Structure 1
Amino acid sequence: MTCSIRFSCSALPHDIILKIGSYLQATDLCALSSCSRFWRDLCGSDILWEPLFKERWPLLSTFDGDNTLFPDAQTDDETSQKWRRVYVMQHMEMASRASEVIAFVTEWPAALSLEASEYLHAVETMSSMRLGFRDVELFLFKPNLSVLLNLVGLIYCIKHLKPREQVLDAMRRCGVSEQLVWVKWLTLGRWSRGRRMRDETVSRQVCLADVVTGKEETVLRVLQRGVVHEVLRVCVSTVDLVCTPCTSSTIRNY
């Protein structure tokens, strides 16, 4: 005699299901909510979405003193679904902001290369937009995008958001850590015994992972500082710029 036992997750207490759901990411909750009406209602609970929102955009509440963006204070009502709507709206807003950065980088006349003033402007634009770490993962750390956009996201994360280890892990997950980029800079010749030495041009192809880990620490310092003091010009490119003269006569006005 055989005995079959049928088990339904819906038979579990809701607090147990919500506890399990708290370990899921937003994409997982959206996928699970498409299974049935029961899961749609449960996976839309504020109990799940409020922590996800605050984890992804921890600083946003600081800039919302009038409480125009966020729902009322935290609630234990599992039927409330305000935070899911706010999360989706904010995700769409960040996607729009990221598209502006992508357009800025890709619409330059010389799309294969960027000057320091251009990519640093993109980094500061991202900071003013308050893009979060997850936003950079989703919208800029894409293998099908230009490595210059991957690099802009890398510099932004290191400068404004996360420790290098977390940035490297994210780049590996997204498949962009081994992307290669050319970095070229012109260093002003130093004075020695009353004579000025020749300006030095450095052109180097580097892997993004090496920039993050410190194997190319000099390159990272040059990229972060841009045109300052003894460094007269910095270019990043998807191709070798060795054939392009990089002399004081070709320097732009910054």
Structure 2
Amino acid sequence: MCALGGCSRSWRTACDANCVWERLFRCRWPAAAAEAAVASRVQGWKALYINQHRRMGVAVSNVIESVGSSLNNGSLESEYYLKAIADLALIADIGFLDVQFFLFSRNHSAIINLVGLHYSIASLHVPPTEVSKALQARQVAGRKVRVNLLKLGRWFYGFRLPDEHESRKISLSELTMAEGAEILAILNRGAVHEVFRLRISLADIDK
């Protein structure tokens, strides 16, 4: 919108219109609109929108940095993965557009994209089909992650069998389909019951 306003004086006038920025704000952060309406009498909707966008960017960046510092040889343990999703839920008024802007970026790894995907479906309750469209639009749908599980060996006639290792490679777009629901459920549970270690890593390092 700001770039469009730089095309000409007439476009600049139209793009600076308070009603335009009010609509953008209300569409992106409906829960915060009532409080913002009071502040808009002083600041104006454009300033409010820009400030809110920046605030979201800083808050989400903190989560992204936390994930980055928790990586171990490119892998993320389930406890840190689930913490990232929980930390996103603590950001007031965060919505699906914020996820698309800040987490579905090609500048971030597929693990960060996955955190955004999982949060959108599990916490924001965005339909998987809509998440899939957003991934396609941001050109990250084909990225792949690997989910590694270490399971306790089963007991067999009084003897415990060796621990079992299971690895699943799946694309972000596949995680929005029926076949990905099981993987998301496993990620949502984390390391519990028979699964005593769960790690997420990049399947394609060059992506």
Task: Tell me if both proteins adopt one fold, taking TM over 0.5 as the criterion.
Answer: yes
Which residue of structure 2 lines up, in the alignment, with residue 217 of structure 1?
Answer: 181
Match of 2:114 among 139, 151, 159: 151
CA distance in 1, matches of 2:157, 2:181: 30
TM-score, normalization by structure 1: 0.71
- Larger CA deviation: 223-232 vs 176-185: 223-232
Secondary structure, counterpart of 1:38 in structure 2: helix
User: Could you tell me the TM-score, scaled by structure 2's length?
Assistant: 0.86
Q: Which amino acid aligns with 2:90?
A: S
Structural mapping, 1:183-194, within 5 Å: 183-191=147-155
Letter of the 2:38 partner, please give it.
D
Equivalence for 2:104 = 141
Residues 45 and 81, structure 1, Cα contact 8 Å, conserved in 2 = no
Q: Contact between 2:40 and 2:48, CA under 8 Å: does it hold in 1?
A: no
- The answer to which structure, 1 or 2, has the higher relative contact order (CA under 8 A, 6+ apart) is 2
For the structure 1 residues 204 and 166, does the alpha-carbon distance in structure 2 shift closer, same or farther, using more than 3 Å as the test? same
Taking the aligned partners of 2:165 and 2:69, their CA distance within structure 1 comes to 27
Q: The residue matched to 1:202 in structure 2 has which SS?
A: strand
Give the Cα–Cα distance (whole angstroms) in 2 for the partners of residues 101 and 81 of structure 1: 29
Structure 2: stretches of 5+ with no match in the other structure: none
RMSD value, Cα:
2.5
Letter in 1 for 2:177: T
**Is residue 2:54 matched to residue 1:92?**
yes
The residue that corresponds to 1:201 in the other structure is 165
Residues 50 and 83 of structure 1 are in contact (CA less than 8 Å); yes or no, is this contact kept in structure 2? yes
Output the CA distance in 2 between the equivalents of 1:108 and 1:192.
37
The 3 A distance-change label for structure 1 pair 103 and 73 is closer
Q: Does 1:72 align with 2:34?
A: no
1:229 aligned partner, one-letter code:
H
CA distance in 2, matches of 1:226, 1:56: 31
Counterparts of 2:53 and 2:174, CA distance in 1 = 31
Q: Structure 2: which amino acid aligns with 1:72?
A: V
Tell me which protein shows more helix as a share of its residues: 2
Paired residues of 1:105 and 1:111 also in contact (CA < 8 A):
no
Alpha carbons of structure 1 residues 239 and 51: separation in structure 2 relative to 1, 3 Å:
same
SS in 2 for 1:71: helix
For residues 81 and 46 of structure 1, the distance between their equivalents in structure 2, rounded to whole angstroms, comes to 10
Q: Find the aligned partners of 1:239 and 1:53 in 2 and give their Cα distance.
A: 37
**How many pairs align?**
202
Alpha-carbon offset, residue 136 of structure 1: 1.2
Q: Aligned to 1:72, what secondary structure does the other structure show? A: helix
- Cα deviation code 1:74-131 (max 9, x no counterpart): 99xxxx9811110000001111112112211122352511000001101111110142
CA distance in 2, matches of 1:86, 1:47: 12
Q: Map 1:1-254 onto structure 2 (within 5 A).
A: 29-61=1-33, 67=35, 70-72=36-38, 82-108=44-70, 110=72, 112-130=74-92, 131-161=94-124, 162-191=126-155, 196-238=160-202
Where structure 1 has 5 or more consecutive residues not aligned to the other structure, the ranges are: 1-28, 241-254
Assess if the C-alpha contact under 8 Å between 1:44 and 1:81 holds in 2.
no
Deviation at 1:52, TM superposition (A): 1.2
Contact 1:184 1:234 in 2 (8 A): yes
Partners of 2:27 and 2:51 in 1: how far apart? 16
Identity %: 39
